[in-house]
């Protein structure tokens, strides 16, 4: 037999209504319906099923299928909290009723967004019931590097809790800078690290808890040494019209908790400067940091400070002015006020100048 109709409504218990067109070919065999094909089609997602349906009063499905899925539509239908959009292909098995079910399968998605991150492509294994969701074995490509991890939501009903466990390797600082629209400063570095974060839908990621660690390593040097040029030209401000290429080493570890980045341990090494940072930064940007810096060229710190001020303050770097100080220096002290949105840190402590 065949059946087809348009503008149907599908309601899975505890989730949103799904509107679709249907086309099917099937045989009725005793107490089951054997579907040779069952196409459920919407304007954004398309599902191609085959399998058996039992118990017509409370249908139980044993289907395998392949599909083209709109992430935006799935997010809306299943009331998924994470910020994501895009589309991809998924193959799987669905067993259960509309109220209680288990869905298992494998996805292949390209050019989609997850929490503002532009992901070039990703594969994953999904295991989902009416009350929880697990996404495992996620290899993905972004920022010319790789990502592997897991993601889960237990439960889907009530107040959902999200868990993410990630490892990223060789993310390109140039690509990342383009993504965050940092135009005047270029970081030719590769970044690798790990993150394990847990949050719920009430507080969002910023109220989550977890541990993050990463390492940056340069893969090329700057063609022009702006810090040395500042000394040579007696602080010619036209240097700010050139991109500041900063080949930096960095190792950082921290803990997210209570709306803060806590227990920060960070070592930043640039061509002329080494900085050790410890402390806390609130997600509002307020800082409580102890800082120890040793520099062989003060203009390098000058350039870094003003380029950060340019980025967070929206003032083009070409309009910045040098402090006009050359030489070497050590700083031991404290940083508070805001280090982003706006970038207006306050430094207090002791400075020891050398050959200034």
DSSP string, 114-161: ETTEEEEEEEEEEEEESS-EEEEEEEEEETTEEEEEEEEES-SSSS-E
The closest alpha carbon to 108, from 138, 152, 79, belongs to 138
Residue 134: what pLDDT? 96
pLDDT band at 115 (very low <50, low <70, confident <90, very high): confident
Mean pLDDT of 9-31: 84
**Above pLDDT 70, what percent of the chain?**
97
* Model confidence at 102: pLDDT above 90: yes
What ranges in the chain are assigned the alpha helix state H?
71-77, 173-179, 226-232, 298-313
Asked whether the predicted pLDDT for residue 341 surpasses 90, the reply is no
For residue 213, name the pLDDT band (cuts at 50, 70, 90).
Answer: very high
The per-residue pLDDT for range 246-280, each reduced to its tens digit, is 999 999 999 999 999 999 999 999 999 999 999 99
Arithmetic mean of pLDDT, 290-313 = 95
Whole-number pLDDT of residue 21: 95
Q: How confident is the model at residue 206 (pLDDT cuts 50, 70, 90)?
A: confident
Nearest to 69, CA basis, from 101, 36, 97, 41: 41
Q: How many CB atoms lie within 10 A of CB 71?
A: 21
Q: What is the pLDDT of residue 14?
A: 67
What is the chain's mean pLDDT, rounded? 92
Q: Smallest Cα–Cα separation from 349: which of 330, 337, 332?
A: 332
Asked whether 300 and 329 are in contact (CB, 8 A), the reply is no
Look at residues 268, 353, 343 and name the one whose alpha carbon lies nearest to residue 308: 343
The pLDDT confidence band at residue 340, using thresholds 50, 70 and 90, is confident
> Per-residue pLDDT for 10 more than 80?
no
Residues 54-58, mean pLDDT to the nearest whole number: 88
Reported as a single tens digit per residue, the pLDDT across 225-242 is 999 999 899 999 999 999
Neighbouring residues of 307: CB distance < 8 A, sequence distance ≥ 6: 184, 185, 244, 317, 320
Strand 145-153 and strand 185-186: pairing?
unpaired
Residue 37 DSSP one-character state: E
Residue 179 CB partners (closer than 8 Å, separation 6+):
118, 143
Distances (CA, A) of 70 to 42, 82, 346: 10, 14, 47
Residue 9: pLDDT band (50, 70, 90) is: confident
Query: What SS3 state is found at 349?
Result: strand
pLDDT over 90 at 192, yes or no: yes
User: What is the arithmetic mean of pLDDT over 113-121?
Assistant: 82
Rounded distance between C-alpha atoms, residue 101 and residue 10, angstroms: 15
Residue 56 confidence (pLDDT) above 70: yes
pTM, 2 dp: 0.86
């Amino acid at each position: 037999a065949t059946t087809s109709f348009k503008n149907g409504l599908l309601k899975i218990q505890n989730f949103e209504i799904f509107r679709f067109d249907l086309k099917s070919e099937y045989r009725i065999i005793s107490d089951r319906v054997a579907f040779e094909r069952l196409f459920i089609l919407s304007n954004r997602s398309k599902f191609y099923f085959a399998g058996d349906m039992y118990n017509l009063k409370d249908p139980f499905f044993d289907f395998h299928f392949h599909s083209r899925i709109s992430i935006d539509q799935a997010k809306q239908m299943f009331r998924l909290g994470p910020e994501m959009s895009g589309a991809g292909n998924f193959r799987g098995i669905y067993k259960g009723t509309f109220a209680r079910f288990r869905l298992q399968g494998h996805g292949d998605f390209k050019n989609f967004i997850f929490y503002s991150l532009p992901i070039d492509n990703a594969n994953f294994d999904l295991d989902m019931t009416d009350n929880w969701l697990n996404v495992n074995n996620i290899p993905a490509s972004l920022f010319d590097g790789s990502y592997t991890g897991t993601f889960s939501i237990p439960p889907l009903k009530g107040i959902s809790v999200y868990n993410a466990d990630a490892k990223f390797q060789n993310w390109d600082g140039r690509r990342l800078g383009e993504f965050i629209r940092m135009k005047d400063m270029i970081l030719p570095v590769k970044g690798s690290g790990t993150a394990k974060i847990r949050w719920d839908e009430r507080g969002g990621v910023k109220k989550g808890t977890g541990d993050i660690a990463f390492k940056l390593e340069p893969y090329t040097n700057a063609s022009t040494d702006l810090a040395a040029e500042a000394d040579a030209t007696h602080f010619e401000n036209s240097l700010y019209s050139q991109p500041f290429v900063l080949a930096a080493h960095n190792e950082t570890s921290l803990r997210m908790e209570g709306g803060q980045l806590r227990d920060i341990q960070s070592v930043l090494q640039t061509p002329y400067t080494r900085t050790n940072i410890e402390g806390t930064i609130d997600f509002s940007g307020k800082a409580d940091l102890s800082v120890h810096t040793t520099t062989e060229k003060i203009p390098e710190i000058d350039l870094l400070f003003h380029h950060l001020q340019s980025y967070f303050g929206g003032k083009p770097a070409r309009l910045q002015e040098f402090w006009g100080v050359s030489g070497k220096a050590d700083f031991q002290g404290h940083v508070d006020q805001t280090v982003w949105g706006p970038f207006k840190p306050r430094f207090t402590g002791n400075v020891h100048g050398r050959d200034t």
